[in-house]
Structure 1
């Protein structure tokens, strides 16, 4: 008669158990977890080589059990603590069938879950481009993404990032014009990024000068928006580019949203083209077609971008 299904000593690995389904060995194996009297594993029909391995395994298990049951000793004669070797046997069969191991969750977005970051408060999503990540260890709660990694700020020290994108609701004014709001916000955006931080330090040694390198109307998430972009020079480091983009919310009372972009200049900064790629990819949350249509719009007039980190063409 064939032995019942259960865990038995693996014929090919004495200190491992393998599942016997009542008629054949399966691929399920596990480390031996219980010890008791030797149990002879079931024979494998037609498997001469494995049957011999089973017999040898069983005989070896009986011999090992007989030897180690009477062994006691290490160091009893020299005053050291006695160490008793536990009885070693072959695990008895278990009544529970093997269960598949759970698969580890994946943090990577699937084909049905595009790489986007959602701003739930303002009801929009941003595309998560290559070399951009969701914010980690960032104090400001309105930062929606940063570039990968950090570096030591060139001025007063501290930790800096080569790129930031910030999204916030405009609530301090009754003004609703995207053009007016963007023109008002750009100076504050530059100060927050490259002048003084909230504790009064100057991570870049302060702003020395700026110039406007672009501005104009642009379509964002199907709404008419406006942007202003500055090139900022700092006392320490290469400075960078700051942009204020304002457009009406796609939900509720259409309260204006301001999106700030902060890109370090120089070869370590992100490509300027990412500003426009992110702007084009902004969508209303829940948009069933995140790949195109609703939020796309032309590049701001008068600007031409290459693939590197150089200055944009003069407007």
Structure 2
């Protein structure tokens, strides 16, 4: 049995036909229409936890189907009790749950199954709706914003970053010119939802965000180190409207000079999410200047490759043809 429900889209019991984003610790204000059922197999029977006061989905264990008649009867009984909202669960169901748990504590393989009851009620927690494989090394999947980004050759998506935002970056790193104790990367792209702002214009938000993007990449890092010696000047290279994932967005690009090292290029790309409440999405780019930095045209290539989740163009590895 897992101890926490992972971030993802889950059905909102307070609004039929709607999913709500669970960030791993709390419900958020982000919603979207519930995705249509997959055609290749029946959905797993579940009961959605009611989000009164936006309480967390309850972690559960899953009973694997083993093909026996006893297993089928136990699964059907657990689901029936869950739907009826009954508290008392028979000993036969409890036995089925215990037999269904893998020895290593992992969740059993997906299939027709039932959910283990909690100590007070038989409540099942759904899994996030279908999406591209998040372990695909060529695709960066942003579930919250409903988009995928192509990952160029020679880039990676780290499993963990200091600032905890969805990130892809060049595989190769180097000692930062302004702080040899820090590692720098020749190229970094992040995706995040615009928060703590009332701005609804993509152009206005891009113009506000670009300075923050530049400071984060070349002025000071998150712990306050001037890893490039700080920004000495900047120049606007490009600005204008752009279509992203079928939405009208806006991009603003700067060239920044730094006290140490070759400086670089930063870009703020802002557009409405193609799903749910269409909250504004911010994609930030930071490319080192000089011969070791990625070609500037790669910014445009990545932007053109951003797709809504579920777009057929994301299948087969969207970044496989994007060279560094």
Determine if the TM-score, normalized by the shorter chain, exceeds 0.5. yes
What is the correspondence of 1:1-80 to structure 2 with a 5 Å cutoff? none
Cα distance in structure 2, aligned partners of 1:119 and 1:235: 34
Partner of 2:143: 120
Distance in 2 (alpha carbons) for counterparts of 1:121 and 1:141: 14
Taking the aligned partners of 1:232 and 1:132, their CA distance within structure 2 comes to: 23
Mean CA deviation greater in 135-144 or 162-171: 135-144
Which one of the candidate residues 279, 286, 289 is aligned to 1:265? 289
Q: State whether structure 2 residue 199 is matched by structure 1 residue 175.
A: yes
Per-residue CA deviations over 1:184-241 (Å, capped at 9, x if unaligned) read 0000100010001222210000000000000000000000000000000000000000
**Which residue matches 1:212?**
236
Inter-CA distance 238–114: structure 2 relative to 1 (3 Å threshold): closer
Q: In the alignment, what sits opposite 1:238?
A: 262
The DSSP-based 3-state class of the residue aligned with 1:289 is helix
User: 1: distance between equivalents of 2:214 and 2:203?
Assistant: 17
Q: How does 1:155-170 map to 2 (within 5 A)?
A: 155-157=178-180, 158-170=182-194
Q: How many residues align?
A: 183
User: For residues 163 and 289 of structure 1, what CA distance do their matches in structure 2 show?
Assistant: 24
- Verify the 8 A CA contact 1:143 1:164 in the aligned structure 2: no
Classify the secondary structure of the residue corresponding to 2:179: coil
Cα deviation for residue 242 of structure 1 reads 0.2
Q: Is 2:153 the counterpart of 1:146?
A: no
Distance 1:145 1:117 in 2: 7
TM-score (norm 2): 0.54
Could you tell me how far apart the structure 2 residues matched to 1:242 and 1:289 are?
27
- Matched position secondary structure for 2:222: coil
How far does the alpha carbon of each residue in 1:8-47 deviate from its partner, in whole angstroms, 9 at most, with x for none?
xxxxxxxxxxxxxxxxxxxxxxxxxxxxxxxxxxxxxxxx
The C-alpha deviation readout for 1:30-68, integer Å capped at 9, x for no partner, is xxxxxxxxxxxxxxxxxxxxxxxxxxxxxxxxxxxxxxx
Contact conserved, 2:229 with 2:260, CA < 8 A, in 1? Answer: yes
Q: Would the aligned equivalents of 1:154 and 1:203 in 2 still touch at CA under 8 Å? A: yes
The secondary structure found in structure 2 opposite 1:164 is strand
With structure 1 as the length reference, what TM-score do the two structures score? 0.55
Distance in 1 between residues matched to 2:144 and 2:164, nearest whole Å:
11
Residue ranges of structure 1 left out of the alignment (5+ in a row) = 1-108, 292-306, 309-315
Cα shift at 1:286: 1.5
C-alpha contact 1:124 1:282 (8 A) present in aligned 2: yes
Partner of 1:189: 213
Instruction: Tell me, yes or no, if the aligned pair for 2:163 and 2:222 is still in contact at 8 Å.
Output: no
How big is the alpha-carbon RMSD for the aligned residues of Structure 1 and Structure 2?
2.1
Deviation of residue 265 (structure 1)?
0.4
